[in-house]
Chain A
Amino acid sequence: MLSNTGNFLLFINTFLSILIIFNSYKCLKSKNNLIFKNIYQISLLQSTLVLICFFTLIAAFIVSDFSLITVYQNSHSLKPLFYKISGTWGNHEGSLLLWVIILTIFSFLFLIFNKNHSKNYRLHTLIIQNLLILGFLIFIIFNSNPFSSISPIPKDGLGLNPILQDPALAIHPPLLYVGFVGSSIYFSAAMASMISNYSGKFFAQSIKGWVLISWTFQTLGILVGSIWAYYELGWGGFWFWDPVENASLLPWFAMTALLHSLLVLEKRNTLYFWTIILCLLTFTLSVTGTFLVRSGVLNSVHTFANDPSRGIYILIFLSLMIFASIYFLFNKYKPTNDLINSNSKETFVLINNWFMMFYLITVLLGTLYPIFTDAITNNKISVGPPFYNSVIIPVVIAFLFFMAIGPQAKWIKNRFSNLKTILLILGGAILINFAIIYFFKSYSLISNLILISSLFLIMSSILDFFKKKSRFGIPRIISHLSFGLLILFIGLNHNFSVEKDFNLRLGEVKKIDDYEFALLDLKLNQETNYKAVVGKLEVNNSNTMEKRILYPEIRIYDNPQTLTYEASIQTNFLGDHYLTMSNIDRSEYYNIKFQHKPLMIWIWISVLLLSFGGFLSLFKNAKNN
Chain B
Amino acid sequence: MQKIIRYSIVLLFIFILLVFYNSLNRETNYSTDHLIGNKLANVNLKGFNDKKVYTSEDLRENNYTLINFWASWCAPCRVEHPHLMQLSKEKNLKILGVNFKDKKINALKFLNDLGNPYYYLTTDSNGKQSVTFGIYGIPESILINSELIVIKKFIGPLNEQDLNDIKETIKSL
Contact = CB atoms under 8 A, between A and B. Distances in A.
A305 to B, nearest CB: 12
Contacts of B24: 295-297, 308, 311-312, 315
A591 B75 contact: yes
Contact of A297 (B28, B29, B73): B28
Given A375-B22, A375-B23, A326 B78 contact: no
Interface in A279-331: 291-292, 295-297, 299, 306, 308, 311-312, 315, 318-319, 322-323, 326, 330
Interface string A574-600: 000000001011110101000000000
A326 B28 contact: no
B10 A326 contact: yes
Contacts of B26: 374-375
Contact of B28 (A291, A306, A584, A591): A306
B116 interface: no
B13 A323 contact: yes
A424 B107 CA distance: 50
Nearest to B13: A322
A292 to B, nearest CB: 8
B28 A330 contact: no
Contacts of B34: none
Interface string B98-110: 0000000000000
A376 interface: yes
Nearest to A381: B131
Nearest to A303: B28
A521 interface: no
Contacts of B73: 501
B79 interface: yes
A376 B24 CA distance: 13
Nearest to A306: B28
A371 interface: yes
A503 interface: yes
A380 interface: yes
B130 to A, nearest CB: 13
A371 B19 contact: yes
A371 B157 CA distance: 29
Contacts of A371: 19-20, 23
Contacts of A585: 79, 157, 159
A374 B23 contact: yes
Interface in B135-153: 136
Interface in B1-36: 6, 9-10, 13, 16-17, 19-26, 28-30
A372 interface: yes
Interface residues of A, number: 33
**Interface SS of chain A:** helix
Nearest to B30: A380
Interface in B25-84: 25-26, 28-30, 73, 75, 78-79, 82
B7 to A, nearest CB: 10
Nearest to B5: A330
B65 to A, nearest CB: 25
Nearest to A589: B78
Given A374-B26, A375-B26, A315 B20 contact: yes
B17 A318 contact: yes
Contacts of B20: 291-292, 297, 315, 318, 371
Contacts of B9: 326
B23 A315 contact: no
B17 A315 contact: yes
A330 B5 CA distance: 11
A584 B23 contact: no
A589 B21 CA distance: 48
B16 to A, nearest CB: 8
Contacts of A315: 17, 20-21, 24
B78 to A, nearest CB: 6
Contacts of A330: 6
B79 A376 contact: no
Given A306-B28, A501-B73, A585-B159, A297 B23 contact: yes
A375 B9 CA distance: 21
B25 A308 contact: yes
A318 B16 CA distance: 11
A374 B24 CA distance: 11
A312 B79 CA distance: 43
A426 to B, nearest CB: 39
Contacts of B21: 312, 315
B17 A319 contact: yes
A296 B23 CA distance: 9
A380 B131 CA distance: 10
A68 to B, nearest CB: 27
22 contacts: A292-B20, A306-B28, A311-B24, A312-B21, A312-B24, A315-B20, A318-B17, A322-B17, A323-B13, A326-B10, A326-B13, A330-B6, A368-B16, A374-B23, A374-B26, A375-B22, A375-B23, A375-B26, A380-B30, A380-B136, A585-B157, A585-B159
Given A297-B28, A589-B78, 14 more contacts: A291-B20, A296-B24, A297-B23, A299-B28, A315-B17, A322-B17, A323-B13, A326-B9, A371-B20, A380-B30, A503-B78, A582-B75, A587-B78, A587-B79
Interface of A: 291-292, 295-297, 299, 306, 308, 311-312, 315, 318-319, 322-323, 326, 330, 368, 371-372, 374-376, 380, 501, 503, 582, 584-587, 589, 591
Task: For the complex of A and B, list the 8 residue pairs with the smallest distance between their C-beta atoms, beginning with the closest.
Answer: A311-B24, A591-B75, A375-B22, A375-B23, A375-B19, A585-B79, A297-B23, A584-B79
